[in-house]
């Protein structure tokens, strides 16, 4: 099924800012700050569809963990989709964000190109505000993020998930919390990142 979705992106993980996993001043990313990366990623879909299923106005959150010391660093991830989505929309979002529909997401989603552990798709109430430099989201009781400020350093930073070709900005998160299945963590003062996205297939 053909698809295209566009919108805004906001994430945080437990790395120190600027996140060493990202591309910094053109240098390829490397090992995470602590060896285990705990994160929460969010997308607010401004416009888009899969085949004839409209996805505009919906949101998606991924809660995740991987270890640099595990061979292949497979991701464990939970896909949290907007509870306002009907059955067809929920199925479409699950297919895109799992990588099942292929396309450009296979260049951007590590959990889609690695042998990873999916915790399934969960419909939850997602509240989301991607205001530049002060964004936040809440995905039910499963995940929340609140940005406290932009990162003050001079480095140019890009991230593979929205795409290294897209401009973005490193941030500092005042709150990063996840509690779903085996993923349970709570951090303050860790890194964040904001950008836009445009995926198609």
Cα 158 versus chain centre, distance = 14
Q: What is the pLDDT of residues 103-147, one digit of tens each?
A: 999 999 999 999 999 999 999 999 999 999 999 999 999 999 999
Closest CA to 199 of 6, 50, 44: 6
H or E segment at 98? helix 87-98
Whether the pTM exceeds 0.85: the reply is: yes
Residue 141 and residue 158: Cα distance in Å, rounded? 29
| Cα 49 to Cα 5, 22, 58, 134, 198, distances in angstroms | 6, 29, 11, 28, 12
Residue 197 and residue 45: Cα distance in Å, rounded? 9
| Cα 129 to Cα 78, 81, 83, 160, 183, distances in angstroms | 21, 16, 17, 22, 23
Q: What is the pLDDT of residues 154-191, one digit of tens each?
A: 999 999 999 999 999 999 999 999 999 999 999 999 99
Residue 98 and residue 113: Cα distance in Å, rounded? 10
């Amino acid at each position: 099924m053909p698809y295209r979705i566009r919108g805004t992106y906001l994430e945080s993980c437990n790395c120190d800012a600027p996140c060493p996993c990202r591309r910094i001043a053109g240098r390829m990313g490397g090992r995470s700050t602590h060896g285990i990366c705990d994160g929460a990623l969010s997308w607010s879909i401004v416009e888009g569809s899969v085949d004839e299923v409209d996805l505009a106005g919906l949101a998606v959150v991924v809660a995740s963990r991987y270890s640099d010391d595990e061979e292949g660093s497979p991701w464990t991830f939970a896909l949290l989709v907007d509870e306002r989505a009907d059955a067809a929309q929920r199925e479409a979002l699950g297919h895109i964000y799992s990588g099942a529909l292929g396309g450009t997401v296979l260049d951007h989603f590590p959990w889609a190109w690695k042998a990873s552990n999916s915790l399934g798709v969960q419909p939850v109430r997602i509240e989301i505000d991607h205001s530049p430099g002060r964004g936040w989201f809440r995905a039910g009781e499963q995940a929340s993020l609140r940005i406290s400020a932009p990162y003050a350093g001079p480095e140019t930073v890009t991230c593979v998930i929205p795409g290294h070709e897209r401009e973005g900005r490193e941030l500092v998160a005042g709150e990063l919390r996840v509690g779903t299945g085996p993923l349970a963590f709570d951090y303050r003062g860790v890194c964040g990142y904001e950008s836009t996205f445009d995926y198609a297939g």
